[in-house]
Amino acid sequence: MQLVFATHNNNKLQEVRSLLPDSIELLSLDDIGCQAEIPETGKTLVENAKIKADFVTKTYGYNCFSDDTGLLVETLNGAPGVYSARYAGIDKNAEANMAKLLLALENENNRNAQFKTVIALNLNGSYVTFEGVVDGLIEHEQMGEKGFGYDPIFKPNGYDRTFAQLPLSVKNEIGHRGKAMEKLIYYLKTIG
């Protein structure tokens, strides 16, 4: 089976490729010649994931899935949420996003947060969504060299290290994207 993952993010692509069985040929936006930065104009993670998957399916004719992920910080009423990638500006700078978040939480004792991923799948004319969530805390400073986005400041519950300090195999097993992907893979196996 051939599927497009609607992303230009090589870190995400690597993470997802490591989860998929060999029977699924995963293509990126670059692989299908899509250089467009698909606008994420939705008000929710579900809407943004669907916008991206629909763009690829309608424009290029491929079965496609897309994800949208948000970091939801309890004391900030769920912010940055759907705007996580653009929290500090439209250039999607991870360092600036983390700096802004750490500043917003500087005097906060409640550092509870959760990562949430929603995957939208367009497959042979049908549309399905899958969700994965992981709870944790926002650290006071960046720790670790692995991962991307907010990984250096997010410590999942039950672990003493941030996502950026954990091996990819552990992150995939316990993380939001890994949980959503597990549901997607199970779905693909049951229909195919």
152: CATH: 3.90.950.10
> Can you give the residue range of the structural domain that contains 166?
2-191
pLDDT range class, residue 20, cuts 50, 70, 90:
confident
pLDDT 10s digits, 108-149: 999 999 999 999 999 999 999 999 999 999 999 999 998 889
Residue 24 amino acid letter: I
Write out pLDDT tens, residues 61-106.
Answer: 999 999 999 999 999 999 999 999 999 998 889 999 999 999 999 9
Mean pLDDT taken over the chain: 93
Active-site pick, 67, 68, 91, 151: 68
Number of domains in the chain: 1
68 is catalytic: yes
Pairing of strands 64-73, 80-81: antiparallel
φ/ψ (deg, to 5) at 144: 105, 155
Q: What is the pTM of this model?
A: 0.90
